[in-house]
Amino acid sequence: MVQGLSNFFDSNRRCCYALGVALAIGGAVALGNYYRVQVEEVYRASVELQTREHAADLQQWKSDGFAIGALSMLGRHTPSLKQVIQAHEPDAGLLERATIPLKTLSMVVGANHAFVLNRDGVVVAAYDPQGRAPLGLNVAFRPYFQVAIKGGSSVYGAISLTTGTRMFYMAVPVYASRTRQDQVIGVLVARFDGNLLDASLSRQYGEGLKMILSPGGVVLAASAPQFLLKADRDWSGSEFRDAVLRQFGDYPFANGVPQRLPFDSRQALVRLDGRRYSLSRVDFDWNDPSGPWTLVTLGDLDAVLPAEQVLLIKGLSAVVFLLLLWGGLRRLADARRHRRDVARIEQSERRLDLALQSGALGLWDWNVSLGIVINNDVWLRILGYSKEELDRTFGNGLDRWAGLVHPEDREPVMARLRAHLNNDAAEYRAEYRMRSKSGRWLWVLDVGRVMQRDANGAASRVTGVLQDITRSVEAQQAIVDNQTRLQSMIANIPGVVFRSLPGSVRQMIFVSEAIEGLTGFCAAHFLGGNPYRELVHPDDLAIFDRSLDCASYMLEYRIVTASGDVRWVYDKGQTIVVDGAAQYLDGVIFDIGERKAAEARVQQSRREAELATQAKSEFLDSMSHEIRTPLNAIIGMAHLALDLPQEPAQRDYLEKIDRAAKHLVGTINGVLDLSKIEAGKLSMEQVCFDLGELVDDVLLLVRQRAQDKALRLSLDIPAALPRRYVGDPLRLSQVLTNLVDNAIKFTEAGQVCIGVCQVRQWNDHLLLCFSVSDTGVGLSEEQQARLFNAFVQADLSISRRYGGSGLGLTIAKKIVQMMQGDIWVHSRPGQGAVFKFTAQLSLPRQRLPTLPVRGCATLAPPQLSGDAAGLCTLNDYARLLAGTRVLVVEDNRLNQDVLQGLLQRAGVQVVMVANGLEALQWLLAGERCDGVLMDCQMPLMDGYATARRIRDYPHLRALPIIGVTASSLADVQGLALAAGMSDLASKPLDVPAFYRTLVRWIKAQDVPPAGSPPALAETRPSAHYPGIDAALGLAVVNQDANLQQKLLRDFHDSHRFHAERLWQAHAAGDRQAIGFLAHGLCGAAGNVGATALRQAAGQLEAQCAGDADLQPLISHLSQCLETVLAGLVSLASPVAGQAPHASERTDCERRLRLERLAKLLRTHNAQALHLIDELCGQSPCAALLEIQERIYRLDFQQAGERLGVLLAKGGR
C-alpha cells in the first residue's frame, strides 16, 4: 500500500499539492469553529451556574437574610409595636414610641419605609423619612400581608400605592408574645426602593444582563433600565386587569398593559441588537401566593470569543495542517530511500547468514541510523520466532530487542551497550534473559562491537552474536542453590555442625557460625588451626578421647568457654571412611545446659517430693497414734463398764458410746487407708490362706448385725473350687466385709448372699470373681455412676438415713485394682444390688506358712484346744487366761487403766511399767512372766527397741510379745515382726480380737481348774471426799469404785503443784500458759466429779482470752483445788520406805527422761509438753517448773538451754 501511494504521488504531484492545501484550509476552518463552540458551551454553563447561585440567594431573603432576621427580632421583642397593634385608638405618645423602633429598623436594613399592620391590614404605625406615613391605609389585599398574618415571612414586589414607584416589601408576623407558638396579632413590613435591587443586580454575580420577573412575567428589577416593567408574554387588557393589575395599581402602561420584552425569555439562545446572548432562567420562591418569581440572566456570547480571535485560530490551524502535509510528503520520500537501504541490508544479511549457517551463534546487525536490526535464522531459532512473527509482535529496531529482554535485566544491559557506543568500553558483552516464543526465559550471552562511526564519532552500525547459555547458567544456579540450601540448613540447626580431620585434637576444616554462640570463639578461630579439644573440661578429657577411636559416638561432656564459663554439651559424630581410610569426622554439638539444669530441678523436686511423702507418712503415724489412743481408752472403758451392773438407761448409753466409738474407728481407718493408698504406701502381701476360713470370718463379723435385722446369710461357693490360695487375705477380707456390711445396711428384709467363682486360670495364676447380692433398696444408674468416688454416697437422704463416710467403696475399688482386678455393680431401684469384683490370686507351689485371716503373726502360734476354738464370752477367755501373769509396758496412764481393767476382768495378773527400760529391768530380775503387752511408742526406749533387747537374751526368746500400736503406717507390721514381736494389736482395741490374740499366745504355767472362773474385782461403796461429788464420780467410771479410787489418787498425784504453776505463769504475765493449765485442770476435775473446781477452772480459761484481771480467779481456783487435794491426802501414793535399789532406778529413769526431753526440744516436738508434765508431776523442782513455763510458751530454745544447765548439774 505504501508503495502504491508513493507511485501515485510521483505521477500526480501537482494535484496532490493542491488537494493538500484545500484540505489544510478546510480543516483549519472546521477546527476554529469547533473551538468557538466549545468555549461558548463552557461560558453558557458558567452563566447557568451563576444564575442558580443568585436565585438561591434571593430565595434566602424570605427566611435567612439579614433584613428578614432583623424584622423578625423586632416584631417579637418590641413591646411598643405590639401595644400599638392591640390599641384601639393609640395616642400620640404610643405612636411616637412605636415609630422609634421602625426608624431604627429602616436605618439598619436600608429600607425606605417601615410600618406596622394590625390584623385587618390597616397601617397603625409607620416611619417614612419624607413624612408620608400612610396611617389608616388598608393593604389587606397585598399578598405579603396575607402570608405574614398566617405566620409566614415573605418578600414581594409591586408599585407603591403612595409613591407610584417600584417597591419591594419584606413582611414578618408579629406575635402576642416572644414565641412563635403564640397568636399572630399583626404584621411588620419594611419597604425598599426598586432601584436598590437594580443596583444589586448590576454589582453581584459577574457580568451580563439580569432581571427579576414577577409571577405574572413583568420585570420589576433589572440591571438594564430598558427592560423594566416589560413582560415576557403578551397581555390583553382584560387578562392583565384580572390577573396582576392590583400589583401595579394605577401605573400608566401604554395601552393599559406592559410591553413585550424584545426576546423570548424561554429560549436558551437569543439575539438582541444584532448580538447573540446565552439566556439562563431560574425560578425562586418568595412565598408569593401567585407563584414563584424568576431570575433571568443574558450572557453576551459574542464577547466571549471575538471574531478576530477566531480568525487567528483558523489561520494558525491552516499553517499547522500545511506543515503536517509537508512533513508527510518528506516522510514518504524517506520511506522510498529506506526501502532501498533495506534491500541492500537484506542482501548483505543473506550473505552473512550463508557464512554462519553451520554455526550455533545468532548474528545480529543493527543499523543505528535507520533504527533497524537484522537477525539471522540461528538467532531466530534460539528464540523460536519467525521473522514475520517478530516483526508483527515486536516491530523492528531497538524497541523489539528491549521488548524481548527481561525487565530486571533491561537497564543493566542498556547501560553496557551505551558504554560501548560512547567508546567507554572496548566491546559490548552481557549475560541476560530473553523471552522465547514458548514464554520461557532463556539465558543468553550477547557480544557486539561498533563496526562504523560517522564523522562525529557516533556509532552508525553495530554487529554482534548471541549464544544460548541457559543450560550452563541453570547448572551453575543449581550449584549455588544447593550451597545456599545447605548453608541455610546448617544455620537453622540448633547446634554446631562441623567437619574435622580424624585425630586426637579434632582439627576443624569446617564449622558453622553457631560455634561462636556456644564457645565464645568465632569459626575462624578453629579454622585457623586452634584445636577444639583445648576447650574440653579437664575432668572430661578421658571420655572425649575415647570417643575419637569409635566409628560413631554420642557423648555428653563439659567445655570451658572463652569467658571461663562451664557448659554441658551433647556431641554426636561419625567417621567418614573412603577407600578403607578415615578421611573426615562429621558431627553436631548441642548446648544441653538447660536440659541439665532441668534434670537437676527434677532431681531436686523428686527429693522434695520424697521428703514431703515421708513427712506425710510421719504425720499420718503421729495422727493415728494421737487419735487411736483416746479411742482405745473410750472403747476399753465402755467394755469394762458394760461388765458391771447398770441401770437400763446407763447400759443403753454405754452401748451407744461403744458403737459410736467403733464407728469412728472405722471412719478413721478408712481415711488413713485411703491416704496410704494415694501415697502408694499400701502394699499387698503374698501369703497362703484358706478361702473358706476367710469367708467364715467375714460372716462371723457380720452375723450379729444380720440377726438383728432378721436377714438370712447364705454362701454360693462351688465345692470343686480350691480352698488354699496365695494373696493378701487381710485386704481381701476387708473388701468382702465392706460389701457385706453395706448389703446388710441397705437391706430391710430378705437375704444377703456371698458367691465365689473362678473366671479363668493360666499357669499357677487364676482370676476369682467374688459377688455380694442383696434384696435391699437398689441403686439408680445415676447413683451407680458416682458410687465409687471418695466421700460420696448414693444420695443425701441415704446418708442421713444409713450414715457412713462414703470411703468404703472407694478403698475397696483401689484395693481391688492393686490385686489386678475390677469392681462393678448391677442394680435397679427397689430390686436389690449385686456387687462383683475380681482378684488375681496364685495357687501355692509349696506349703507356705498359713496366717490367720485376722492377724499379723509370723511365728507359728500354738494350737488352740477345742474349747478355745469357739470362744465368744468373757468367761471363756477368763477360763483360759486365769492365773497368767502379763507384763504391760505402757506410758499413758489412761491406757494403763484400760489394759489393766481388761486383763484383770479375764483373771490375768498385771504387772505395769511405764517404759521399755523398766520392762527390761523387771524381766531381768527373774520374775515369772507368761507374756508381754508392749506399746510400740514410748519415751526413753520404744517398744521396737525393747523387743529387740529382750530377744537378745536366750531365756527370753520364746516369751510372747504382743505389740500394741495406734500407728497407721503401712510398714508398722514389718517393723514389729522385724523387732521380734509375736503379734500386733491395733488401737483402739477390738476387745474380742484382743482376747483371742491373748489366748493364742499366752498360757499360764499353772492354770486353775476349768470350772473356776477368775475372781472379779469387787465393787465397794465410794467414800466421801470434800469438794468431790461421789455420785457424779461413780457415774463417770460406771459405778466402779476401785477405778474411781485410782482416778482420784492419780488426780492428787498429778495436780499437787498445779496452783504453784498457775501463780508462776501469772507472775510471768503468760496468759496463754494460764489458759493451758486451766483447760487441763477443767477436764481432769470433771472426770473425778470435782464440780466447783471444774467451774472455777472453766471461768479462768474463758477470761484468759481477754484483758480481765486473773488474780481473783486464780485465788478462787487455788482455794477449790486446795480443798479437793486436802481431802485426797489419804489416797496419795507412798513415797517413803522404798528399797534403795528402787530409788537408784528412779534416778536413772529420771535422767533418761530428761535426755529424751532435750531431744524433743531440739526438734521442736510437741510431745515435750506431755513429758514435762510427767516430770513435774513425779518430782517437781524450781528448775523443772521454769523449763515447763518456757515450754508452755513454746519457747523451746530457752527451755533447751535451761535443761542443758540442769543436766550439767546431774539432773537435780
Report the distance separating Cα 545 and Cα 514, nearest Å.
23
> Which of 120-129, 160-169, 991-1000, 1133-1142 shows the highest mean pLDDT?
120-129
Q: Which domain holds residue 722?
A: 685-854
Q: What average pLDDT does this structure show over 266-295?
A: 88
pLDDT tens-place string over residues 1061-1101: 888 888 878 787 787 688 778 767 876 778 888 888 888 88
Give the pLDDT of residue 10: 63
Residue 411: predicted pLDDT: 92
Q: What is the pLDDT of residues 382-421, one digit of tens each?
A: 888 888 888 888 878 788 888 889 999 999 999 999 899 8
**Percent of the chain that is helix, strand, coil (3-state, to 5):** 50, 20, 30
Residue 1137's pLDDT is what?
37
pLDDT of residue 448: 92
Q: Pick from 982, 1117, 965, 1102: which is nearest to 1055 by CA?
A: 1117
746 shares a domain with 765: yes
> For all residues of the chain together, what is the average pLDDT?
80
Cα angle 1143, 1147, 1148 (rounded to 5 degrees) comes to 115
Shared-domain flag, residues 418 and 522: no
Q: Is the pLDDT of residue 768 over 90?
A: yes
pLDDT at 20 over 80: no
Confidence band, pLDDT 50/70/90 cuts, at residue 244: low
Query: What is the residue type of 927?
Result: E
Kindly report, residue by residue over 1161-1198, the tens digit of the pLDDT: 877 665 677 678 778 766 667 778 778 777 766 677 78
Among residues of the chain, what percentage have pLDDT more than 70?
83
What is the pLDDT at residue 385?
87
Measured CA to CA, the distance from residue 211 to residue 229 in angstroms comes to 10
CA 912 to CA 904: how far, in whole Å?
12
What is the rounded CA–CA span in Å between residue 801 and residue 905? 37
pLDDT recorded at residue 799:
43
- Of 97-111, 617-631, 1005-1019, 1039-1053, the range with the lowest mean pLDDT is 1005-1019
For residues 104 and 178, membership in a common domain is answered with yes
Burial class of residue 1020 in the structure, from the number of CB atoms within 10 Å of its CB (0-12 exposed, 13-18 middle, 19+ buried): exposed
* 767 contacts 821 by C-beta, under 8 angstroms: yes
Give the per-residue pLDDT at 1010.
39
Torsion of Cα atoms, 1177 then 1182 then 1187 then 1190, to 10°? 110
Do residues 259 and 113 both lie within one domain? Answer: yes
Q: What is the pLDDT of residue 1038?
A: 46
Average pLDDT over residues 1022-1040: 67
Count of helices and strands (H, E) across the chain: 42, 32
pLDDT in tens, 907-927: 899 999 988 999 998 998 888
pLDDT higher than threshold 70 for residue 1035: no
- The lowest-confidence range among 39-53, 59-73, 518-532 is 59-73
> Beta strands 823-827 and 833-842: pairing type?
antiparallel
The reported pLDDT for the residue numbered 856 is 31
Query: For every residue of 905-964, which 3-state class applies, written as one string?
Result: HCCCEEEEECCHHHHHHHHHCCCCCCEEEEECCCCCCCHHHHHHHHHCCHHHCCCCEEEE
pLDDT for the residue 579: 84
User: Which one of 571, 586, 605 terminates a domain?
Assistant: 571
Helix, strand, or coil here: 264?
coil
Residues ≥6 apart with Cβ < 8 Å to 651: 642
Q: How confident is the model at residue 621 (pLDDT cuts 50, 70, 90)?
A: low
Per the CB < 8 A criterion, the answer to whether 1010 and 877 are in contact is: no
Contact assessment for residue 817 and residue 788, using Cβ atoms and an 8 Å cutoff? no
Q: Which residues contact 1176 (CB under 8 A, 6 or more apart)?
A: 1057, 1061, 1184, 1185, 1188
Q: Do 324 and 410 fall into the same domain?
A: no
* pLDDT-wise least confident of 127-131, 670-674, 801-805, 823-827: 801-805
Q: Are 171 and 153 in contact (CB under 8 A)?
A: yes
Query: Are both 164 and 218 inside the same structural domain?
Result: yes
Q: Are both 1058 and 1196 inside the same structural domain?
A: no
- Residue 669 neighbours by CB distance under 10 Å: 18
Confidence of residue 962 (pLDDT cuts 50, 70, 90): very high
C-alpha closest to that of 280 among 293, 263, 299: 299
> What average pLDDT score do residues 734-748 get?
90
- pLDDT recorded at residue 1151: 74
For residues 235 and 367, state if they share a domain: no
Mean pLDDT computed over 787-793: 62
pTM exceeds 0.75, yes or no: no
CB contact set of 888 (below 8 Å; sequence gap of 6+):
896, 899, 900, 903, 910, 911, 912, 913, 932, 933
As a whole number, mean pLDDT of residues 874-897 equals 82
Say if residue 140's pLDDT is above 60: yes
**Coil, strand or helix: which one is 282?**
strand
- Residue 511 maps to a domain: yes
CA distance 911 to 890: 11
Closest to 784 (Cα-Cα) out of 746, 827, 822, 743:
827
Strand partners, 766: 761, 841
How far apart are alpha carbons 1143 and 1150 in whole angstroms? 10
DSSP symbols for 806-862: S-HHHHHHHHHHHTT--EEEEE-TTS-EEEEEEEEEE--SS-PPBPPTT----SPPP
For residues 748 and 723, is the Cβ–Cβ distance under 8 A?
no
Which pLDDT belongs to residue 6? 64
CB 1164 within 8 A of CB 1196: yes
User: Burial level of 1081, CB count in 10 A (0-12/13-18/19+)?
Assistant: buried
By the 10 Å C-beta count (0-12 exposed, 13-18 middle, 19+ buried), 537 is classed as: middle
For residues 428 and 562, state if they share a domain. no
Question: Among 576-580, 673-677, 902-906, which stretch is predicted with the lowest mean pLDDT?
Answer: 673-677
Residue 829 Cα distances to 34, 710, 782, 795, 1013, angstroms: 107, 22, 11, 13, 53
> What is the predicted pLDDT for the residue at 970?
53
Reply yes or no on whether the pLDDT at 1012 is more than 80.
no
Percent of the chain past pLDDT 90, that is, above it, reads 13
Highest mean pLDDT, choosing among 6-10, 248-252, 804-808, 838-842: 838-842
Average pLDDT score over residue span 766-770: 93
What pLDDT score was predicted for residue 870? 41
Whether 271 maps to a domain, the answer reads yes
> Tell me, what's the pLDDT at 960?
93
pLDDT of residue 887: 94
755 pLDDT above the threshold of 50: yes
| Residue where one domain finishes, among candidates 1079, 1100, 1133 | 1133
Per-residue model confidence as pLDDT tens digits over 319-350: 887 788 777 777 777 777 787 788 788 777 67
- Please give the pLDDT value at position 325: 76
Confidence of residue 90 (pLDDT cuts 50, 70, 90): confident
Decide if 1161 is inside a domain.
Answer: yes
Please report whether residue 488 resides in a domain: no
Q: Which of 235-244, 300-309, 494-503 has the highest mean pLDDT?
A: 494-503
pLDDT of residue 2: 57
Give residue for cell 550451597: 483
Q: Which amino acid is at 799?
A: S
Q: In 3D, which of 83, 129, 132 has the Cα closest to residue 106?
A: 129
Strands 441-453 and 428-435: antiparallel
Residue 739 lies in a domain: yes
Burial class from Cβ neighbours inside 10 Å (0-12, 13-18, 19+) for residue 686 reads exposed
Residue 341 lies in a domain: no
Task: Work out how many domains the chain is built from and give that number.
Answer: 7
Q: Is the pLDDT of residue 868 over 90?
A: no
Rounded to a whole number of angstroms, the CA Rg of the chain reads 65
For residue 536, give the CATH number of its domain: 3.30.450.20
Q: Which of 161-197 are b and which e, b meaning 16 or more Cβ less than 10 Å from the residue's Cβ?
A: eebeebbbbbbbbbbeeeeeeeebbbbbbbbbbbeeb
Is 990 within 8 Å of 1001 (Cβ atoms)?
A: no
Question: 1123 with 1152, same domain?
Answer: no
Same domain, 1143 and 1103: no
Backbone angles phi, psi at 783, to 5 degrees: -70, -35
Residue 599, domain member (yes or no): no
E strands, 248-385, where? 269-272, 275-284, 293-300, 362-367, 372-375
If asked whether residues 1126 and 1169 sit together in one domain, one would say: no
Which residue in the block uniquely carries the three cell numbers 396611617? 135
328 in a structural domain: yes
pLDDT at 952 over 70: yes
Tell me which of 1076, 1102, 1133 is where a domain ends. Answer: 1133
CA 236, chain centre distance (Å)? 93
Contact in structure between 869 and 914 (CB atoms under 8 Å): no
Q: Is the pLDDT of residue 858 over 50?
A: no
